[in-house]
A = this chain, B = another copy of it.
Amino acid sequence: MATEPIDVPELAESNESAKERLLAAAEEIFADYGYEGASVRAICHRAGMNVAAVNYHFGDKETLYVEAVKRAHNCSDTKPVDDDDPTAPASVRLERFIRHMVAMMHEPASPSAMKLVVREMADPGKAAATLVDEFIRPIAFRLRALLQELQPHQTDEERLMTGFSIIGQCLYYRQNRRVSELIFGKPQVEALTVDMVADHVVRFTRNAIGLGERPA
């Protein structure tokens, strides 16, 4: 008689862990080399698995890429913003929003995850739609809502551009850090700490939208 068909959580978990390891490896390699530059071989090797692993677990390279990008945004620390105190004044919530954005761009919880996400956003591909739906749009809408509170008399277009001005400042440090270092020298740019940048963007933005200097 055959042994009883018992539940084998280990296998399922091992399977899960295999996919997880693969995704983690993919995140790093894709982040460093881009989609075309990354090789399935390199990813599998990094995950300590066989070359065929990617095709076995994900079907093909592209699917793995999409899954890796999806996973990457979950690893990004979006949550802290969610449990923001909704009772605080809008100007305070805007400041918190900016500080969170700057921090996320400056020192993301998972650098390679953020790198991968930014890469995909700069050159939107198959994974961009999901990314926007689950990761980017919520953030953008939160900012839009904030600006509606703060600038109810402005047009939608004005508020849209204001939002872009705020986000543009924050994104700059992630999207153009390397070039900035080439322009001004690495030390000059590295001297700008998260707090300094956050303070600056908050002040710059408050002035720009007429909130005036933040009370001490």
In contact, B128 and A119 (Cβ under 8 angstroms): no
Q: Using C-beta atoms within 8 Å of the partner chain, give the interface range for chain A.
A: 35 or more
User: Which residues of A, 106-152, contact B by the 8 Å Cβ criterion?
Assistant: 119-129, 132, 136-137, 140
A49 to B137, CA, bound (A): 44
Question: Residue on B with the closest CB to A168?
Answer: B172
Q: Is the CB of A122 within 8 A of B175?
A: yes
Contacting residues, chain B, for A156 (C-beta < 8 A): 188
A165 to B169, CA, bound (A): 5
Residues of B within 8 A of A179 (CB): 121, 124, 128, 132, 136
| Complex partner residue of A191 from B126, B128, B157, B176, CB under 8 angstroms | B157
Distance A171 CA – B209 CA, assembled complex (angstroms): 20
Taking CB atoms, residues of chain B closer than 8 Å to A35 are 1, 37
> Which B residues lie within 8 Å of A125 (CB)?
1-2
Contact status B2-A158, CB under 8 Å: no
Copies of the chain in the assembly: 4
Asked whether A183 and B1 contact (CB < 8 A) given A162-B204, A200-B158, A200-B161, the answer is no
Task: Report how far A192 CA is from B128 CA in the complex, Å.
Answer: 22
**A201–B156 CA distance with the chains assembled, in angstroms:** 16
- Which residue of B158, B167, B178 is within 8 Å of A124 (Cβ)? B178
A146–B127 alpha-carbon span in the complex (Å): 41
The A7-58 residues at the B interface (CB cut-off 8 A) are 33-37
Q: How far is it, in angstroms, between the C-alpha of A132 and the C-alpha of B183 when the chains are bound?
A: 6
Look across to chain B and name the residue whose beta carbon is closest to the beta carbon of A184: B160
What are 19 A-B contacts defined by CB distance under 8 Å? A1-B62, A1-B120, A1-B126, A2-B123, A2-B125, A34-B36, A35-B37, A121-B176, A122-B122, A132-B179, A132-B182, A137-B183, A158-B200, A161-B196, A164-B173, A165-B200, A167-B172, A168-B169, A169-B169
For the complex of A and B, 8 pairs with smallest distance between CB atoms: A1-B125, A168-B172, A36-B36, A208-B208, A161-B200, A36-B37, A168-B168, A132-B182
